[in-house]
Amino acid sequence: MAVINFTLNGRAQRIDVANEMPLLWVLRDTLNLTGTKFGCGVAMCGACTVHIDGQPARSCATQASAIAGKTAGDVATGEVLLAGPDERLPDVAQRMLDHGTSHAVVVEPRTGRPVGVLSTLDIAGILGWGLG
């Protein structure tokens, strides 16, 4: 086990996990951030994509040790789309709720390539509604 300090979605984190633990399970099991999904488990499908240093990274194939010392938003997940630093619901989440949409595909801005999916259950969990 190792203590790893890093910044996630603009907030300082300190976790005690095995260095080789996949970042996906750090996010989902240790930090309870379920917006990053398990898909194929071999870094092919993109369901587990997060951003590290502004670049897409497959969290199922990224070890926890790779994020040690990352600061000031260097690690970002889909949750950052749902609840920004000011705790307001960003436009994408508000539009999903307004239009009764159950899912939205998140794409890379430059390529339009899908990198993840947000659901209304993800939004509910972020807001603490206890549905997801």
Distance, in Å, from the CA atom of 10 to the CA atom of 112, rounded to the nearest integer, reads: 24
d(C-alpha 14, C-alpha 46), whole Å: 26
Give 43-76 pLDDT, tens digit per residue.
887 778 888 887 788 899 999 999 988 764 478 7
Ordered domains of the chain (ranges, CATH): 2-126 (3.10.20.30)
- Give residue-wise pLDDT tens across range 78-124: 666 555 455 555 566 666 667 766 666 766 666 666 666 666 556 55
**Sign of the dihedral defined by the CA atoms of residues 85, 70, 25, 103, in that order:** positive
